Structure 1
Amino acid sequence: MDDYKLKYEQTKSEYESYQRITESKLQELSTINVQYEKNLDMLSNVLFISNYVNSNLSSKNIIPIINDMIIGIIGVTQSTVYLKEEEIFVISATNGTKESIKLTGECIKYIDQHKTFILNSKIPITKDEVNKICIHSRMGVPIKVGEECIGYIVVDHTHFNFLNEFHELFLNTIANQIAIALENAILYKKIEKAAKTDSLLGIYHRRTFYEIINERLTEEDIKKYAIVMVDLDDFKKINDTLGHLFGDKVLIETTKLIREKLGPKDILARYGGEELILYIDCNCPVNEIFNKIDSIREAISKNFIQDGNIRKSITASFGLGFYPYDGDTIEAVIKTADQYLYKAKDAGKNKVLGSHKYMYVD
């Protein structure tokens, strides 16, 4: 009987030991499973942000939207994205207040070293008395392109010990996505600019000029404007006698000279070959526009283009059209300017011509 009782106790002990081991393993597997689910959620969110970034390269609000995503995905109280401008980190997006996102000396030390940091403190790291925000947990991760640190993501929570290595992994991944977004945005802008501008002169194409002017005339209440057609005199002769490279230099330097004399709202574009077109903001008497264009004409004629042993000055002819005096559409005003350009060429070149009937109209 005692043998049976002893065997029972041994079996019971073995079963309880097995049960404890099994429960421990189940708990361990459950913990691992929860971590896998977290990792899967993080991966899913990273993929979502990545897809969003790739679909919105041209969006001006891409950083603020990513910042909002960070807040929603990891559940922090506030998030701030800093980007470097002229060697200084400037806030690009935040949902915090000036006081609550303030960087402490310890934070600045890590940022200067371009290091990731996690700060947890029972005493508030920062606080905003007015809005009753006390930050007890803060994390910062650098945004890097190659070895260069171009920004920082700093996230905060009001709870002590909220942020940990799991959040660090996620934020590092997001920092990489922001870096990719910025690189792609820069590339996108370069491609966009290349599509809109003349590769030689760096000014708008004819088609882009029309698009910009029509958009401006649609969106703004513009009462007056001038269109100026410009043609470099005897340009074909320059190409034939001095070569196309010197001809290109003439175009580049003359275009630069004209651009320097334009106002902030004036627009210059290459209309075709050696012909340029100008949109002039016309908030002054018409005769002042004539004087402005004539000063450009004179500056061109006095400018010498130098290339090695070649040194030559050129002249240009100008035709002016004014809205609303010369037509009620952009096409009509351009047509008038073009007609006066050819009259200037026929009259001996190096002239500015337009209708004199409205010379002193305000």
Structure 2
Amino acid sequence: MISIEQEKNRISIQRELEKQHFQVEALTDSLTGVGNRQAFQQMMDTLAGEGPEPEYSMSILDLDNFKEVNDTQGHMQGERYLRELGNVLQKTRLGAAYRFGGDEFCILFRSRTKSQLCEACQDIQHSFSEATLSRELEQVTISFGVAVHQPGVGPAELLRRADTALYQAKKARGSICFCQA
């Protein structure tokens, strides 16, 4: 009787571990290892429901000239760059990273000053430029658009502002632009 109960417990624990594994897998981008768009949306929903004024900032980043990399070096090389950026973003402890789509990523930061945000973005740029892949192949830069939360600004508007700042940053390639709203 005891062995039957132990086996039932073992199976129950195994099922729970599998369930947790599938939940994590469902929210993780399989190529880069960072959160996927669904995980990003869940976090946006969480932020929207966090009381009157949660303090957070958002950065949208992407690889400059990524289309050119794919067109000239092939999609397999493009995926290597994306995996490398995913590795760099996973090591970032200052914010939560998500792959938004293609070569576009988003990082959500909690309670950071503008200078801390700028430093975090610069650290990511530096780490990516120092990565083995970037030293072996054509150097690809990263541009950042950053929006700092302001009272009355919801997550969707903050995302729009960060995207607008990214558009400005991409004009100079490899730069960091803050939303001026």
TM bracket, shorter-chain basis:
0.7 to 0.9
Tell whether 2:125 aligns with 1:297: yes
> C-alpha displacement at 1:349, in angstroms?
0.8
Tell whether 2:110 aligns with 1:281: yes
Per-residue Cα deviation, 1:178-208 (whole angstroms, up to 9, x for no partner): 1111221122122222221111112211122
Structure (1 or 2) with the greater helix fraction: 2
Partners of 1:286 and 1:276 in 2: how far apart?
A: 19
In the alignment, which residue of structure 2 is the partner of 1:121? none
Partners of 1:287 and 1:272 in 2: how far apart?
A: 27
Q: Let me know the Cα RMSD of the aligned residues.
A: 2.3
Picking from 155, 165, 179, the partner of 1:330 is: 155
In the alignment, which residue of structure 2 is the partner of 1:321? 147
Structure (1 or 2) with the greater strand fraction: 1
Conserved? CA contact 1:258–1:296, under 8 Å: yes
Partners of 1:180 and 1:223 in 2: how far apart?
A: 41
Per-residue Cα deviation, 1:5-35 (whole angstroms, up to 9, x for no partner): xxxxxxxxxxxxxxxxxxxxxxxxxxxxxxx
Structure 1 stretch 253-262 or stretch 328-337: which is displaced more? 253-262
User: Residue 221 and residue 343 in structure 1: after superposition, are their counterparts in 2 closer, same or farther (change >3 A)?
Assistant: same
User: Residue 302 and residue 319 in structure 1: after superposition, are their counterparts in 2 closer, same or farther (change >3 A)?
Assistant: same
Number of aligned residue pairs: give it. Answer: 181
Partners of 1:340 and 1:180 in 2: how far apart?
A: 51
In the alignment, which residue of structure 1 is the partner of 2:22? 191
Per-residue Cα deviation, 1:226-280 (whole angstroms, up to 9, x for no partner): 10001111112112222222211111111211221332xx211110001001101
Partners of 2:179 and 2:21 in 1: how far apart?
A: 41
Partners of 1:220 and 1:290 in 2: how far apart?
A: 27
Identical-pair percentage: 23
User: Residue 185 and residue 261 in structure 1: after superposition, are their counterparts in 2 closer, same or farther (change >3 A)?
Assistant: same
Matches within 5 A, 1:121-270: 169=1, 171-219=2-50, 223-263=54-94, 266-270=95-99
Residue segments in structure 2 that go unaligned for 5+ positions in a row: none
Q: TM-score, normalised by structure 1?
A: 0.46
In the alignment, which residue of structure 2 is the partner of 1:354? 178
Q: Which structure's relative contact order is higher, taking Cα pairs within 8 Å and 6+ residues apart?
A: 2
In the alignment, which residue of structure 2 is the partner of 1:345? 170
Matches within 5 A, 1:13-28: none
Partners of 2:91 and 2:25 in 1: how far apart?
A: 21
In the alignment, which residue of structure 1 is the partner of 2:100? 271
> C-alpha displacement at 1:295, in angstroms?
2.5
